[in-house]
Amino acid sequence: MDATERVSPEGSVPVDAGPEGSVPADARPAGSVPLDAPPAGAGRRGGRVVGLALSCHPGPALAVTALACALALGSGLGGPRSALVTAAVLTGQLSVGWCNDAYDARRDARAGRRGKPAADGTVGAGAVWGAAAVALAVCVPLSLACGVLAGTVHLAAVAAAWLYNLRLKATALSWLPYVAGFGALPAAVALSLPGGPAPRWWTVAAGALLGFAAHLADTLPDIAADRAAGIRGLPHLLGDTGTRLLLPLPLLGATAVLALGPPGPVDAGGAAALVLAGAGAFAGPALGRRWRKAALAGAVAVAAVDLALLLVRGVAAA
């Protein structure tokens, strides 16, 4: 479940409350949108376009794309090559976001979740599936244009994200696509450089650890609602307390790998990054009961510190 989802305060409807695609009127949460109601965007092309844009999970999609762009530019790829990498990552992220909303549309509608265009009828699930397919089709040539090996690594990460949406999200392996995707990002950027140099191991390890942390932080605010929908990913098995206790470890681990991985003693930048990362890693989960997105904000702050350190150190072996 995306961190921006909401559940109707009166509760959620069991998945088996009615026949496929419908819910009895007396079983719907108060204030939820009836599934047989006219689509909110019906007859309004603008409404459907906006709904389609919101269905792609624009926040995470743009954040990952911006990260890839920063890595590409910071690695010396140059403007045109960096734009190609950025476009490949953007189309991959769009396909993943649209796939997620289209696949979850019926379950989100039954649960009365708000802010989900494919669930409230603003845009049809079929249109969202179509957009996901088009984005994925465009992503393939763009990725391979970055280099066969670089493109293969990126497409494998996109495939892992689709597998998360379609299967692994509700299992104890829910963390695996995040680890694979975030670890693949610096690897794909490094392999896109002239000559395809191998990525530095600590950049891939740090990306993987940040991916694990991102999964925990993104899921943490919605553990209870996800459980009600039958989702049993790793954070749901750990529970709220267990997830809060675990979250700082991969965040600190990612920064430690970047600071300690390169040969030689830790410099002033690495030491400062460790201090800042420690503050962000523990402050987020600690404030989580007062601010719903505190853990995610803390993870983003640590990721920003790590990105700065990564840009200084470089993503590819010399």
Q: H or E stretch including 280?
A: helix 268-286
Instruction: Identify the pLDDT of residue 166.
Output: 94
Give this prediction's pTM. Answer: 0.78
pLDDT at 35: 38
* Contact between residue 317 and residue 198 where contact means Cβ atoms under 8 Å apart: yes
List, in sequence order, every beta strand (DSSP E) within the chain.
none
d(CA 217, CA 253) in angstroms, rounded, equals 15
Specify the pLDDT at position 318: 52
Residue 273 or 207, more confident: 207
Q: What is the reported pLDDT for 272?
A: 84
pLDDT at 46: 58
229-250: average pLDDT: 90
Which of these ranges, 2-6, 26-30, 69-73, 168-172, has the smallest mean pLDDT? 26-30
* CA distance linking residue 304 with residue 273, whole number of Å: 10
Sequence-ordered list of residues with C-beta below 8 angstroms from that of 234, at least 6 positions apart, any chain = 172, 173, 174, 175, 215, 216
Q: What is the pLDDT of residue 292?
A: 65
In this structure, the number of other CB atoms found within 10 A of the CB of residue 282 comes to 15
In 173-199, which positions are buried (b, 16+ CB within 10 angstroms) versus exposed (e)?
Answer: ebbbbbbbbbbbbbbbbbbbbeeebeb
Helices 234-246 and 201-219 sit at what angle, rounded to 10 degrees?
Answer: 110
208-227 pLDDT, tens digit each:
999 999 999 888 888 888 88
* pLDDT tens column, 61-99: 998 999 999 999 988 888 999 999 999 999 999 999 999
Residue 22 is predicted with a pLDDT of: 36
Only one residue has tokens 């529970």, namely: 239
Mean pLDDT score, 260-266:
81
| Torsion angles phi and psi, residue 223, rounded to 5 | -60, -45
- Which residue has better confidence, 202 or 136? 136
Asked whether residue 286 carries a pLDDT value surpassing 80, the answer given is no
pLDDT band at 3 (very low <50, low <70, confident <90, very high): very low
